């Protein structure tokens, strides 16, 4: 696989996922869209495991890894799908831009990694400032949007916690194995959540919602992670992390273009602060050393 093609694929998938989440939930509730996506992703993983001759172990370390990854699969996905009901899709991607900052901070505390350097502390401060600016925007203060923004932030926090937990266990499993095991383990929770909180089968399936659901199940849930782990294997982590600098802005533009979302100036300012925080996280310490 060509590295540039994989790199571009991850950028496109991550940039379009927030809008696809909104479209896949339109007309039948977010729990149907979420459960349907995870069901499709699980079925695809079950098909790929024997096809690619990937192992799916169930020893103790593997089960702990699936449970840790499940925090991100179930907890983070549930929060972001619920919050997506009240927020523009581009804003979801911007808040998710905090993921590297939170992951680095949690890793420094839990894994005792060298994380609280001047550059990373500045990055965290800029990211928090950007988030506060966004929370003060009219688009967030209207209706339940601030609850949606808070839910998406909780999703980012759970996703970061899950990633650090998986690394702490250190089972040495492949990306497809971890994705497959966590999806298979968490699928009953998704179905149970739909049965308890909704329970209504969809009566009308729009073409847009159906295609978005299919896109998320096949690309967002499996291919995106596979390409991401492929890049991590062949490129430096800092070069892969540059993706998070591109996707928030691209997602804002895609939401404005395809979904008619109006992006206020204050949201662009908050987004700029978050992106500046990511840039500080990546480069300031290197500049100081030089």
Rounded to an integer, the average pLDDT of 40-49 is 91
- 99 pLDDT band, cuts 50/70/90, is confident
Residue 241 has pLDDT above 80, yes or no: no
Supply the mean pLDDT for the chain.
Answer: 86
Residue in 53, 142, 162, 51 with CA at minimum distance from that of residue 91: 142
pLDDT at 72 over 80: yes
Q: What does the domain layout of the chain look like in residue ranges?
A: 3-289
Look at residues 46, 81, 286, 19 and name the one whose alpha carbon lies nearest to residue 185: 46
pLDDT over threshold 90, residue 188 = yes
pLDDT band of residue 1 (cuts 50, 70, 90) is low
Tens of pLDDT, residue by residue over 265-287, are: 888 898 899 889 888 887 887 78
- CB within 8 Å of 45: residues ≥ 6 apart: 176, 179, 180, 183, 184, 222
Q: pLDDT confidence of 153, banded at 50, 70, 90? A: very high
DSSP string, 58-127: -SHHHHHHHHHHHIIIIIIHHHHHHHTTTS-HHHHHHHHTTHHHHHHHHHHHHS--S---HHHHHHHHHH
Residue 237: per-residue pLDDT: 57
126-148 confidence digits (pLDDT tens): 988 988 888 777 666 667 788 89
Per-residue pLDDT tens for 213-233?
A: 999 988 887 888 778 777 766
């Amino acid at each position: 696989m060509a590295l540039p093609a994989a790199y571009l694929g991850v950028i496109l998938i991550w940039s379009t996922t927030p809008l696809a989440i909104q479209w896949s939930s339109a007309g039948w509730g977010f729990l149907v869209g979420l459960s349907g996506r995870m069901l499709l992703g699980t079925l695809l993983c079950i098909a790929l495991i024997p096809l690619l001759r990937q192992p799916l172990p169930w020893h103790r370390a593997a089960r702990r890894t699936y449970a840790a990854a499940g925090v991100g699969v179930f907890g983070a996905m549930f929060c972001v799908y619920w919050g997506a009901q009240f927020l523009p899709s581009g804003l979801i991607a911007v808040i998710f831009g905090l993921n590297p900052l939170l992951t680095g901070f949690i890793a420094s505390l839990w894994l005792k990694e060298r994380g609280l350097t001047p550059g990373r502390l500045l990055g965290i401060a800029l990211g928090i400032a950007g988030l506060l600016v966004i929370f003060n925007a009219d688009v967030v203060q209207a209706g339940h949007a601030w609850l949606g923004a808070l839910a998406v932030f909780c999703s980012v926090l759970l996703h970061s916690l899950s990633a650090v937990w998986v690394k702490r266990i250190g089972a040495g499993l492949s990306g497809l194995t971890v994705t497959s095991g966590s999806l298979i383990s968490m699928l009953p929770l998704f179905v149970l959540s739909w049965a308890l909180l909704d329970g209504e089968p969809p009566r009308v399936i729009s073409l847009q919602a159906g295609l978005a659901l299919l896109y998320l199940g096949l690309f967002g849930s499996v291919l995106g992670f596979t390409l991401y782990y492929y890049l991590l294997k062949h490129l430096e982590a800092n070069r892969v992390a540059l993706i998070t600098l591109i996707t928030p802005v691209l997602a804002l533009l895609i939401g404005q273009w395809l979904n008619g979302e109006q992006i206020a100036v204050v949201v662009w300012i908050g987004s700029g602060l978050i992106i500046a925080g990511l840039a500080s996280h990546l480069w300031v310490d290197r500049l100081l050393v030089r």
